[in-house]
Amino acid sequence: MGEFEYKEAKQQEYRRKSEQILKSLPGFCRTYERGIEGTVSAITIYAYLQRIHVFFVYLHDNNSYFANKDITQITYDDISQLEAEDIEEFNHYIRTGKASNGHDNKEASVNHYLCALNSLWDYAITHGRLRHNVIKDIRRGKKKKREVVTLNQNDENGFFQSVNYGTNLTRHQEAYRNDVTVARDNAICLTLVRTGLRVSELVGINLDDINFDDCYFHVNRKEDKIDNVYFSDQVREALEHYLSLRPLLNPDPSERALFLVTIGKYMGTRLSVRSVQKLVKKYAVAGAPQVGSRMTPHKMRSTYATNLLRASSGDLTLVQEALNHESPSTTSIYLKKRDQDLKDARNMIDERQ
């Protein structure tokens, strides 16, 4: 399966999941889903429909007007009766964790629900089904400023000591190590921290997507943008070493995925996003305990961004292009991290005298 076929298969998976949710939603939600199809990804549509479903279940269970209505029979006329107070009550429901695991949700979660509902209301207004978007009457809470978590040089050294030599791994974790697993994990982790690839992009890479002459991956990025992502000589060496051992996994000749499962009944098949998340966490906890519990593949992307910003003398445009960010404001969070690094280092030279 080629990279683009793999990504299309994932899109189809989310379309099927959306179809299942639509069966328990008001009929107009199907029209809405068709209306936004093509403007956002299949996974975004699925996420929106999940949150919209939570909203209608809440209305059915907590609002007397909707208590005796089957959710699938709710109409635009019904939801036109909702006022700001009704939405604020729903926000409280989400904020206090009653819709999930009982733990208080972050304000960002509440805003995600409002974003999904706002999309539905905007669609209805555009098509003349509603006159007023009550969601816009709600004041959104301020999100906490996101801390940029990265691996510093000592963290990175410890991390790769754990990857390559098993430093501080448990006996159970050590039992699953072999030459091909170590080579694969080193190639994965170096690729993440030296290219800034998203984990979904990484697992989608196929053998045919690698150009070793010019050192780049041909990648299908967010919103189906095609891009060449360049890698360093160090990454190339790690990839070549892993590829020399890849045949030991006995993959089916039709399996073109670069990174494969190395043990168990799924050996020789494409590695999953979840597997990469788990292996990054494992090595970070063992080798970089200061940040280990918070380390994810996306934090390794943050590490790449911060390091590239330093190496390029603050070239924000270069970093924006490398990360495939739409807006410079998204990239600018790494400037704050760099400013903090400079502040922390202000006495470094004095202390060496």
Q: Which residues are catalytic?
A: 198, 222, 298, 301, 325, 334
Q: Go through 222-239 and write b for each residue having 16 or more CB atoms within 10 A of its CB, e for each that does not.
A: eeeeeeebebeeebeebb
Evaluated on CA atoms 32, 38, 41, 42, the torsion sign reads: positive
Report how far residue 286's alpha carbon sits from residue 160's, in angstroms, rounded to the nearest whole number. Answer: 10
Report how far residue 306's alpha carbon sits from residue 146's, in angstroms, rounded to the nearest whole number. Answer: 15
Angle at 248 (CA atoms; ends 242, 254), nearest 5 degrees: 90
What long-range pairs does 68-73 form, CB within 8 A, spacing at least 24? 71/24, 71/25, 71/26, 72/23, 72/24, 72/25, 72/26, 72/27, 73/26, 73/27
Who contacts 57 (Cβ-Cβ below 8 Å, separation ≥6)? 71
